[in-house]
């Protein structure tokens, strides 16, 4: 066969092969023309750095631009490492990875020079182009990199937005931070541009428990660096008295108001709006009150703006009322007025309990004529007094 004939034959043979492959007579090793099985160790170019994948099995759906990974899945992206039994990687039209979805309680780790963050949830979503990730279903996270002390966060859903410096949790939120335990419907950690936690906002029946205080409110904001706290809307605070002057002294003080602010540096609680205080046999109301702490123990309470304090059958009204805890006493100054409740027979006051005042009269309405014995039945609901 001449050289020319040989070349014609080869060209005709290659053309037949091309037509066979085009018509589907010769198929790839994948089950469908739209799928392929990439190597178990794959590196995909991403917008910033490579997305590296390892798994026991991998497949790629070209039609839907979707990587499917099963068995000992490991995904590496930037400073993040996610492990789990199953994952799917969604690609955009340009072939860049957009969203990585992980199933069956994957483990997320983010390793930085200042520490490591970990997140575990039923499912986890990694938004690759936005530097954002979220977890759903019994989520537990241990965040070390945003504050001097770690945050332990448990909730139904959590989202970490590193671009906008926000960590959000929703649904049965429980947070442990230092000596505080906080529960709420929602929590929002706001961070500085440097990635440090600036404040944490709890909303929806927020409740914070500390060794000597218990605060309930619709909204509680904690300033992370200073340790200051703001509580708004129907605030109920209980302060435990660990070092009482006398064993008979009340073990707790209850403070209710519309707004409360705690300043850690000065150890002061400022309360305003419908202030009500219950301390043993003392029940006081005022527009404003200041709680002064000393060595982390409540030392005195100062009521301003024309307050009233009731002790058994004695009602004292003054511009300023100061209640001390060591010893337990109170002092009234400025246009002081003292009234005594009469007993049921209309005689002189004898210290016996009397019924509550009829509606419409000034002064606090007290059931039974005196506050309940909080030493035996403590309560933070002062609506009955």
pLDDT at residue 93 in the model: 84
Is pTM beyond 0.95? Reply is no
> Is the peptide bond prior to 17 cis by the omega test (within 30 degrees of 0)?
no
Closest CA to 287 of 265, 271, 264, 309: 271
Residue 250, H or E segment: none
User: Which segments within 224-251 are labelled E, that is strand?
Assistant: 229-240
- CATH class, 223-374 region: mainly beta
Pairing of strands 282-294, 166-177: unpaired
What is the C-alpha to C-alpha distance for residues 200 and 221, in angstroms, rounded to an integer? 6
Q: Can you spell out the DSSP letters for 55-107? A: -SEEEEETTTTEEEEEEEEEEEETTEEEEEEEEEEEE-TTS-EEEEEEESS-E
Instruction: Classify burial at 306, counting beta carbons within 10 Å of its beta carbon; exposed 0-12, middle 13-18, buried 19 or more.
Output: middle
pLDDT at residue 44 in the model: 60
For residues 103 and 123, the answer to whether their CB atoms sit within 8 Å is yes
Pairing of strands 166-177, 132-143: unpaired
pLDDT at residue 350 in the model: 38
pLDDT at residue 294 in the model: 86
What is the C-alpha to C-alpha distance for residues 345 and 132, in angstroms, rounded to an integer? 73
* ∠ CA 49-54-55, rounded to 5°: 150
Can you say whether the dihedral through the CA atoms of 175, 135, 145, 83 is positive or negative? positive
Closest CA to 329 of 307, 355, 309, 346: 309
Residue 122, H or E segment: none
Tokens of 298: 């409540």
The structural domains of the chain, with segments of one domain joined by +, span 223-374
DSSP 121: -
Residue 284, H or E segment: strand 282-294
State which residues of the chain have pLDDT below 70. 1-49, 343-385
Q: How far is CA 295 from CA 238, 269, 307, in A?
A: 17, 14, 27
* ∠ CA 329-248-264, rounded to 5°: 60
Reported as a single tens digit per residue, the pLDDT across 319-347 is 999 999 988 999 999 999 999 977 554 44
């Amino acid at each position: 066969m001449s050289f020319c004939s040989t070349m014609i034959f080869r060209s005709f043979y290659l053309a037949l092969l091309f037509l066979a492959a085009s018509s589907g007579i010769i198929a790839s090793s994948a089950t469908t023309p739209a799928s392929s099985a990439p190597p178990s160790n794959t590196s995909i170019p991403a917008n910033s750095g490579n997305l590296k994948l390892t798994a026991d099995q991998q497949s790629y759906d070209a039609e839907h631009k979707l990587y499917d990974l099963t068995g000992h899945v490991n995904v590496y992206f930037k400073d993040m490492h996610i492990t789990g039994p199953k994952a799917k990687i969604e690609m955009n039209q340009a072939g860049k990875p957009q969203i990585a979805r992980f199933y069956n309680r994957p483990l997320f780790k983010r390793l930085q020079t200042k520490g490591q963050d970990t997140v575990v949830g039923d499912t986890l979503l990694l938004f690759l182009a936005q530097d954002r990730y979220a977890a759903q279903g019994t989520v537990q996270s241990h965040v070390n990199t945003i504050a001097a002390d770690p945050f332990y966060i448990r909730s139904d859903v959590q989202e970490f937005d590193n671009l906008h410096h926000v960590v959000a949790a929703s649904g049965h939120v429980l947070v442990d931070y230092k000596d505080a335990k906080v529960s709420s419907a929602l929590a929002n950690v706001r961070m500085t541009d440097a990635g440090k936690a600036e404040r944490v906002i709890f909303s929806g029946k927020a409740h914070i428990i500390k060794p000597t205080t218990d605060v309930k409110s619709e909204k509680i904001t904690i300033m992370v660096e200073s340790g200051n706290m703001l509580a708004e809307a129907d605030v109920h605070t209980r302060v435990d008295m660990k070092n009482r002057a006398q064993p008979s002294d009340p073990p707790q003080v209850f403070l209710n108001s519309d707004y409360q602010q705690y300043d850690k540096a000065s150890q002061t609680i400022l309360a305003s709006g419908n202030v009500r205080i219950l301390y043993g046999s003392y029940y006081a109301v005022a527009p404003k009150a200041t709680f002064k702490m000393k060595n982390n123990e409540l030392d005195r309470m100062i009521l301003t703006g024309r307050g009233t304090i009731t002790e058994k059958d004695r009602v004292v009204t003054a511009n300023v009322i100061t209640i001390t805890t060591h010893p337990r006493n109170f002092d009234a100054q400025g246009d002081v007025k003292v009234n005594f409740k009469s007993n049921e027979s209309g005689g002189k006051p004898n210290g016996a309990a009397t019924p509550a005042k009829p509606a419409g009269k000034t002064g606090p309405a007290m059931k039974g004529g005196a506050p309940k014995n909080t030493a035996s039945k403590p309560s933070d609901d002062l609506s009955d007094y």
